[in-house]
């Protein structure tokens, strides 16, 4: 028996498609068979499986478990919850060798997909392509596996609260925080967490609804933070936290309604961490502000710029022993007192903790940051066959440039005006551009350089496309 995946679903960091069009139960079964075969051959035998709140998720979970069992792996079903709860199940249980979360993340309601962990490491890139090749050849081992249900939510909430042990309860009880779950999978965990979290808390949209009736659950889009901003203003809160659909990415609003972007959150976390762990390596992706890298260095840390993509960042953390990393997209990774995976609920608790330990409000911490002028992430369509080639052409043209050119992930060019970035997306047929300066005039000059490089490669910026 063989299986052919739609060519669009096997992506760099995960497997993702449109239910009923490019993704269905047969795909889930084949993923289970391939993953179980690889895990058994590597000496593992038990996989934790979780799923998000999308209407298609229970169907895919059922088929995935069938596939895992059919190739001889036992399954621990942790039920509906956020992706980090599944990561926690995989990282904390000694009898579990891998994990798969069924989730469409922040994508529209008709999407779904799979995020995977294999013996404690991210499963991505070539691993995912191997699953495709094995399916096409029907190269699966046969076996018989068992399935058990394990309730882990209470244990997970205990772990989320652990960083607050030893703090003065009075400091925590003064906190007033808003939370926007966006009808995502983290709802039940968030309710359980807020029942036990000291302070005064207000939560929006904690009921799980895979149609996302209130707003789209992507906290990197400012329009999706409007309800949270209104809540913070109305209740005079210290700050507000928002999650994406599967709870692994965080967004935030300070007490004055300003967005705290992913790299700015990392500045706060890094400042707090470096008091206790000086000289630590702090990793951020190539889209992050120069202000972050300067801030880390100023507070005695070693800033490292790395490739975009949660799997790539996690791998780099392990390689460098970094206790903290993050991306502009709101993935924040704590290996300091935690497991190194991206968990927006844990990041929310750590934001409270940073404010208390630093003795500054989140609004003050945000206000102290330099006022950089930057573009949002601009994404524009480029034919798949051209996107990486175009980046190579830009690199070649800038080889003798007086500007500082960093080729870690695409091209990031630093000049007296600031910096600009052009990189190829690993998951879509788009180029991503971003620029930052401390003046509007400088930003205009940087954008002109991007446009010039695109023109020389026969491309133009055109209209920005979505994720």
Instruction: Supply the pTM of this predicted model.
Output: 0.95
Which residues of the chain are in CATH 3.40.120.10 domains?
15-151, 156-367
Q: Collect all residues with Cβ–Cβ distance below 8 Å to 409 and sequence separation of at least 6.
A: 285, 286, 306, 307, 308, 423
d(CA 377, CA 35): 34
Token pair 């490089």: residue? 453
pLDDT tens digits, residue range 283-324? 999 999 999 999 999 999 999 999 998 889 999 999 999 999
- Report the catalytic residues: 105
Tell me which residue of 343, 367, 337 sits closest to 250, measured CA to CA: 343
Tell me what pLDDT residue 357 has: 96
What class has domain 15-151? alpha beta
Integer CA distances (angstroms), 107 to 25, 112, 245, 279, in order: 19, 8, 8, 38
Integer CA distances (angstroms), 42 to 35, 221, 314, 436, in order: 11, 40, 21, 45
Tell me what pLDDT residue 463 has: 61
Integer CA distances (angstroms), 178 to 53, 82, 192, 193, 329, in order: 22, 19, 15, 13, 20
Q: How confident is the model at residue 271 (pLDDT cuts 50, 70, 90)?
A: very high
What is the percent of the chain where pLDDT is above 90? Answer: 90
Tell me what pLDDT residue 464 has: 59
pLDDT tens digits, residue range 338-390? 999 999 999 999 999 999 999 999 999 999 999 999 998 898 899 888 999 99
d(CA 325, CA 293): 12
> To the nearest whole number, what is the mean pLDDT of the chain?
95
CATH fold label, 156-367? Alpha-D-Glucose-1,6-Bisphosphate; Chain A, domain 3 (3.40.120)
Q: Is the pLDDT of residue 427 over 80?
A: no
Q: What helix, strand, coil percent values describe the chain, rounded to 5?
A: 40, 25, 40
Tell me what pLDDT residue 429 has: 84
Q: How confident is the model at residue 107 (pLDDT cuts 50, 70, 90)?
A: confident
Tell me what pLDDT residue 361 has: 98
Which residues of the chain are in CATH 3.30.310.50 domains?
373-456
Tell me what pLDDT residue 428 has: 79
Tell me what pLDDT residue 108 has: 87
The least confident of 101-105, 202-206, 382-386 is 382-386
Q: Is the pLDDT of residue 452 over 70?
A: yes
Tell me what pLDDT residue 466 has: 53
Q: Is the pLDDT of residue 48 over 90?
A: yes
User: What is the chain's Cα-based Rg?
Assistant: 22
Q: How confident is the model at residue 461 (pLDDT cuts 50, 70, 90)?
A: confident
Q: Is the pLDDT of residue 462 over 90?
A: no
- Burial degree of 341 (CB within 10 A; 0-12, 13-18, 19+): buried
Tell me what pLDDT residue 52 has: 97
Q: How confident is the model at residue 465 (pLDDT cuts 50, 70, 90)?
A: low
CATH fold label, 373-456? TATA-Binding Protein (3.30.310)
């Amino acid at each position: 028996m063989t299986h052919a995946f739609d060519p669009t679903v096997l992506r760099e960091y995960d497997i993702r498609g449109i239910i009923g069009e490019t993704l269905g139960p047969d795909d889930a079964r084949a993923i289970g068979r391939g993953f179980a075969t690889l895990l058994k051959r590597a000496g593992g035998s038990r996989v934790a499986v979780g799923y998000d709140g999308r209407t298609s998720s229970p169907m895919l979970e059922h088929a995935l478990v069938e596939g895992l069992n059919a190739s001889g792996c036992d399954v621990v079903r942790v039920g509906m919850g956020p992706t980090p709860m599944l990561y926690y199940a995989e990282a904390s249980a000694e009898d579990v060798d891998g994990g798969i979360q069924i989730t469409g993340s922040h994508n529209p309601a008709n999407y779904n997909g799979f995020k995977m962990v294999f013996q404690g490491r991210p499963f991505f890139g070539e691993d995912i392509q191997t699953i495709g090749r094995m399916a096409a050849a029907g190269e699966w081992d046969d076996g018989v596996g068992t399935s058990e249900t394990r309730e882990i939510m209470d244990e997970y909430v205990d772990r989320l609260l652990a960083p607050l042990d030893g703090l003065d309860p009075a400091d925590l009880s003064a906190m007033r925080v808003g939370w926007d779950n966006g009808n995502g999978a983290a709802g039940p965990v968030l309710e359980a967490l807020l029942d036990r979290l000291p302070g005064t808390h207000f939560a929006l949209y904690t009921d799980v609804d895979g149609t996302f009736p209130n707003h789209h659950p992507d906290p990197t889009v400012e329009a999706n933070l409007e309800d949270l901003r209104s809540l913070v203003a109305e209740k005079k809160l210290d700050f507000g936290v928002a999650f994406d659909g599967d709870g692994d990415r965080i967004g935030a609003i300070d007490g004055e309604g300003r967005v705290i972007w992913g790299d700015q959150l990392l500045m706060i976390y890094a400042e707090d961490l470096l008091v206790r762990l000086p000289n630590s390596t702090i990793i951020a992706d190539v889209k992050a502000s120069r202000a972050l890298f300067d801030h880390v260095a100023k507070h005695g840390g070693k800033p490292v710029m790395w490739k975009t993509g949660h799997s790539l960042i996690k791998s780099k953390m392990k390689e460098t022993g970094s206790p903290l990393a993050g991306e502009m997209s709101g993935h924040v990774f704590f290996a300091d007192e935690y497991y190194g995976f991206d968990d927006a609920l844990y990041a929310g608790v750590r934001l409270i903790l940073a404010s208390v330990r630093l003795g500054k409000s989140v609004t003050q911490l945000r206000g102290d940051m330099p006022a950089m002028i930057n573009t949002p992430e601009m994404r524009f369509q480029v034919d798949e066959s051209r996107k990486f080639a175009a980046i190579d052409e830009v690199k070649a043209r800038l080889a003798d440039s007086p500007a500082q050119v960093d080729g870690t992930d695409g091209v990031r060019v630093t000049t007296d005006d600031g910096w600009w970035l052009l990189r190829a997306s690993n998951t879509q047929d788009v180029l991503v551009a971003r620029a930052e300066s401390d003046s509007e005039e400088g930003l205009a000059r940087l954008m002109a350089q991007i446009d010039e490089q695109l023109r020389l490669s026969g491309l133009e910026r055109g209209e920005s496309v979505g994720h």
